[in-house]
Amino acid sequence: MPRVKTPDWVKDAVFYQIFPDRFARSGKVLKPNNLEPWDSLPTPQGYKGGDLYGVIEHLDHIQELGATAIYFTPIFQSACNHRYHTHDYYQVDPLLGGNKAFYALRDEMHRRGMKLVLDGVFNHASRGHIFFNDILENGPHSAWLDWFIVHDWPLTAYSGERPANYEAWVGNRALPKWNTDNPQVREYIMQIAEHWLREGIDGWRLDVPFCVTSPGFWNEFRSRVKAVNPEAYIVGEVWWDSTNYLQGDQFDAVMNYLFTEPVIQFCGQGHLDRSLAISDASYDPYPAIDGEHYAKKIAKALFRYDWEIAQVQLNLLDSHDTARLLSIASGDSATVRLATILLMTAPGAPSVYYGDEIGLPGRVDPDCRRTFPWDKPETWDREALAYHKQLIAIRHAHPALRRGRYQPLHHSPTTYTFGRVLEDDRLLVAVNVGEKAAKIEVPVQDVFAEGTALKAVYGKGSATVEGGLVKLNLPARDGVILTRQA
Contact 157, 136 (CB under 8 A): yes
Examine the residue annotation and report whether 424 is marked as an active-site residue of this protein.
no
CA distances from 108 to 34, 39, 77, 131, 328 (A): 30, 28, 22, 34, 35
Query: In this structure, what is the dihedral angle of CA atoms 395, 399, 404, 409, given to the nearest 10 degrees?
Result: -50
Catalytic residue among 207, 261, 321, 332: 207
Contact 421, 407 (CB under 8 A): yes
The candidate with the shortest Cα–Cα distance to 297, out of 307, 309, 287, 311, is: 287
Catalytic residue among 21, 119, 237, 356: 237
10 Å CB burial of residue 365 (0-12, 13-18, 19+) is middle
Buried b (16+ CB within 10 A) or exposed e, 331-361: ebbbbbbbbbbbbbbbbbbbbbbbbbbbbbb
Q: How far apart are CA 426 and CA 53, in angstroms?
A: 41
Neighbouring residues of 278: CB distance < 8 A, sequence distance ≥ 6: 284, 286
Contact 79, 87 (CB under 8 A): yes
Q: How far apart are CA 312 and CA 13, in angstroms?
A: 9
Q: How far apart are CA 257 and CA 210, in angstroms?
A: 15
The candidate with the shortest Cα–Cα distance to 453, out of 475, 470, 429, 472, is: 470
Q: Please report the sign of the dihedral spanned by the C-alpha atoms of residue 57, residue 61, residue 67, residue 70.
A: negative
Q: How far apart are CA 304 and CA 326, in angstroms?
A: 28
- What 8-state DSSP symbol labels residue 19? -
The candidate with the shortest Cα–Cα distance to 335, out of 461, 479, 439, is: 479
Angle of helix 291-303 versus helix 257-268 axis, rounded to 10: 170
Contact 417, 411 (CB under 8 A): yes
Examine the residue annotation and report whether 207 is marked as an active-site residue of this protein.
yes
Contact 179, 146 (CB under 8 A): yes
CA distances from 194 to 73, 153, 198, 227 (A): 18, 35, 6, 9
Q: How far apart are CA 371 and CA 384, in angstroms?
A: 18
Tell me which residues are annotated as active site: 207, 237
